[in-house]
Structure 1
Amino acid sequence: MTGTSPRRKTGGRQAQIGLADIEREGLRLGLADLTVNGVAGALGVTPAALYRHVDGKFGLESVVGEAILAELHIIDDPADDLNAHLLSFALQLHTFIVDRPGLAAYLQTLFPRGASGLRLQREAVEALGRRGYGAAGAVMLSGTVASLAINLSAAEERHRPYHDGPHQRELEKVYALLASDEVLAPVHAELPAISSGDYFLMVMTACIRGLTTAAPPGRPVIETLTDLGLTD
């Protein structure tokens, strides 16, 4: 919807808000802190005024989330082979998500929700099409890689307060608990410390290798899915 709705009267005149105002204040608040009341308060209107433009919290999230995704443009290097392309896709997605709190949860809820999500999915299919995949295989492969990247990014966002924020003492308790176990303590002492970025890279690399082995270009999707455990 593109109409305007009244703000509270100021100086005898009735100010107006539109969808662009809602989007602007929603972006300022960010998805992690987004509420109908918060946006309404920032605009100086009642929450009811927002409902003329958005369908509650879900609709508000969609407006803001699609505006954020409009900024995401995955770079596809023609020189990248299949595995390199998918890993680059995952890394670019990860970097974009972790810099925008709340975006991972938005993507996990439903996708796509609007034009920006459709564009990203279409571009992912086109990039794999240039590497020999039909549309169905490209959707399956890119969607699986994207889902894993999003879920790992969401986990990193949840864990961040325990590594870099106010709950570091809780993490120290976990380390102390492991150190007290006679079986696990020497194992964890032997393992190298791995950053969240390195962990993401390792997991995505392993999964992409497995996916592209099971689903090479030209293999029918149903054959791949059956091979991976689909029964009916």
Structure 2
Amino acid sequence: MTANPPRRKTGGRQAQITIADIEREGLRIGLTNLTVNGVATALGVTPTALYRHVDGKLGLEALVGEAVLRELHIVDDPDDDVEAHLLSFARQLHTFVLEHPGLAAYLQGLFPRGEAGVRLQREAVEALGRRGYSPAGAVLMSGTVASLAINLTAAEERHRPYFEGPHQRELEKVYALLAADEVLSAAHQELPTITSEPYFRMVMTGCIRGLVAAAPPNRPVNDVLTDLGLE
């Protein structure tokens, strides 16, 4: 796809830009490297021109983040029981977030921050509603699973440079430290090598099984929260 040329000042006047222009360049730059100055430079305008359309860095993040989330559509298999559905939900979220660097950090902030986020949360509630959950129970279940999935994905994103990038030498130091400790070395030798995706699935399965056991459909939310230790 051919990139659109930046807009230039003409006749001493600031070139006109639109929200669509800002969103396009923001998506091209990506959430990880997103700045007001970067988008303004790409559009050939001053940062002041962007402030007429977005409320600073947070407003720019919301504009671009919601544009990314519009492309996320969770597939709900009606044959899945609650546990299978929540695991599928977590894995689809995990895959999408990894494919969009910076999205994990965006989701770890305020959520929802726009119509795309509201739509995703509503669809998650409706999917669990079809499995017997009240709206409040569905928010509790889907929100807990989503939060854990996003946090695990964010950690995986931070760890990637140590496994795939320029910091692999630091990883070798970690292995050396473990090998030098008699107890830890023996423990790790008994464990299989688990790559990131199976590890994610394993952790999410354990969390979801415990959550479903504590929060079956139609159980009052307050009883669930008390059972899970909320005082």
TM-score range normalised by the length of the shorter chain: over 0.9
Map of 2:230 onto structure 1? 230
Deviations 1:12-52 (A, max 9, x none): 77531000000000000000010001000000011111000
Q: Is residue 2:109 matched to residue 1:80?
A: no
SS in 2 for 1:16: coil
Map of 2:198 onto structure 1? 198
Q: Is residue 2:110 matched to residue 1:110?
A: yes
Map of 2:3 onto structure 1? none
Deviations 1:129-160 (A, max 9, x none): 00000100000000000000000000000000
Map of 2:173 onto structure 1? 173
- The total of aligned residue pairs comes to 225
SS in 1 for 2:78: coil
Q: Is residue 2:16 matched to residue 1:22?
A: no
Q: Is residue 2:44 matched to residue 1:56?
A: no
Looking at structure 2, the residues matched to 13 and 207 of structure 1 have their Cα atoms a distance apart, in angstroms, of: 57
Q: CA deviation at 1:224?
A: 0.4
Map of 1:146 onto structure 2? 146
Which runs of 5 or more residues in structure 1 are unaligned?
Answer: 1-6
Map of 1:4 onto structure 2? none
Normalised to the residue count of structure 2, the TM-score between the two structures is 0.95
Instruction: Give the residue type in structure 2 aligned to 1:147.
Output: S
Instruction: Give the residue type in structure 2 aligned to 1:70.
Output: R
* RMSD over aligned Cα atoms: 1.1
Q: Is residue 2:121 matched to residue 1:121?
A: yes
Map of 1:159 onto structure 2? 159
Looking at structure 1, the residues matched to 198 and 8 of structure 2 have their Cα atoms a distance apart, in angstroms, of: 51
Instruction: Give the residue type in structure 2 aligned to 1:29.
Output: I
Which runs of 5 or more residues in structure 2 are unaligned?
Answer: 1-6
Map of 1:217 onto structure 2? 217
Q: CA deviation at 1:10?
A: 3.0
Looking at structure 2, the residues matched to 34 and 109 of structure 1 have their Cα atoms a distance apart, in angstroms, of: 15
Looking at structure 1, the residues matched to 220 and 227 of structure 2 have their Cα atoms a distance apart, in angstroms, of: 11
Q: CA deviation at 1:184?
A: 0.9
Map of 1:41 onto structure 2? 41
Instruction: Give the residue type in structure 1 aligned to 2:106.
Output: Y
SS in 2 for 1:79: coil
Runs of 4+ in 1 over 4 A off after TM superposition: 11-14
Q: CA deviation at 1:9?
A: 2.0
| Percent identity between the two aligned chains | 78
Looking at structure 2, the residues matched to 126 and 155 of structure 1 have their Cα atoms a distance apart, in angstroms, of: 29
Q: Kindly indicate which of the two structures has a greater share of residues assigned to strand.
A: 1
Looking at structure 2, the residues matched to 14 and 38 of structure 1 have their Cα atoms a distance apart, in angstroms, of: 17
Which shows bigger deviation, 182-191 or 196-205? 182-191
Q: CA deviation at 1:182?
A: 1.2
Looking at structure 2, the residues matched to 191 and 41 of structure 1 have their Cα atoms a distance apart, in angstroms, of: 51
SS in 2 for 1:31: coil
Map of 1:3 onto structure 2? none
Deviations 1:168-220 (A, max 9, x none): 00001000110011111111112110000000000000000000000000000
Instruction: Give the residue type in structure 2 aligned to 1:61.
Output: E
- For 1:60-71, list aligned pairs within 5 A: 60-71=60-71
Normalised to the residue count of structure 1, the TM-score between the two structures is 0.95
Looking at structure 2, the residues matched to 68 and 91 of structure 1 have their Cα atoms a distance apart, in angstroms, of: 18
